Copies of this chain bind each other. A is one copy, B any other.
């Protein structure tokens, strides 16, 4: 049900001809109100795509009537012309919907450094608007795919109100957001300040902790829109938990569809002196290419975990570190622990626990193994 699970939203997904192969490449999500509150979180990459620069401005008012998303081109590193194209895209959506352009968020994904084919994109917007439907969420989710093998949606329904969303992303997944376009909608009746708070606290522990390949995108965008159509204003904690659940679900789907991956790796750092230490250590482990290769080879090579921990500034003593892989404590007190032969790595999910023995804080980072298929997908063609 995706972005149309919540009341007050319509959506569409069509093939506008932006992609050469004729696959769906344009999605439109419209908030029919009565509220049009919104919040957004964007890439922390300092090289931001034109649609990110635009949507950041849109979000300042906390009001969004529509989101237009295209795959088949990132419109990043495209200079003033690229920004004009984003602006023209928002203007066209505003025109066909009868709204102001400053209430239209724009998202793009695809190859960096190529201008969008506006002669196809602009007519496509009219086509998408003509097909807007309360059942259009699935098609919208399909239209934003790039190298994704499956489309990703999630829904949490509570007493009379709903949070639902869609996501795309399968590579360039990294913190400070994993590569992704995400649109989440709700019919809970909440203002943009509450949406912003709930969204930031959710992304902080979900998308920000998905790190497939350490590469941060120029286009990452996560939007949360409220129509208020349920007429219900849930308690903040309950709403925040629902948003977190949807983000967590979508984040897990991103990891499971990561390019070329054969293993999903849960890196859990425990007994850290601070949450920041736990995250730093988790990321360092998650980004270690040698470890990621070892996991691919089903080799419980804990030495590579320790060498990754050793590059961080976190509080720990090397001779107090413990590491478990799939439940076997292969490293105890910084040295050889239980027999590595006991580690069963035949399944897709691999669980690494790094015990810093320095406090009581914890954090979990999700990543993937590094495979020849990843190399192939990212060397055989531009993306």
A residues bordering B, Cβ < 8 Å?
A: 44-48, 74, 76-79, 81-82, 111-115, 171-172, 213-218, 287-290, 293-297, 299, 301-304, 306-312, 316, 318-319, 321, 330-331, 333-336, 369-372, 374-382
Contacts and interface: CB of A to CB of B under 8 A. Distances in A.
A379 B376 CA distance: 16
A103 to B, nearest CB: 26
Given A47-B306, A47-B307, A304-B112, A78 B215 contact: no
B112 A293 contact: no
A66 B309 CA distance: 32
A378 B294 contact: yes
A196 B147 CA distance: 51
8 contacts: A45-B311, A77-B335, A112-B304, A113-B302, A172-B290, A215-B289, A215-B304, A215-B307
Task: With a 10 A CB-CB cut-off, give which of A47, A215, A333, A369 has the most chain B CB atoms.
Answer: A47
Contacts of A376: 372
Given A218-B310, A382-B294, A48 B370 contact: no
What 6 A-B pairs come out closest when comparing CB atoms? A112-B303, A297-B379, A47-B310, A79-B335, A293-B378, A372-B372
Contact of A380 (B214, B297, B374): B297
Nearest to A319: B79
B382 A310 contact: no
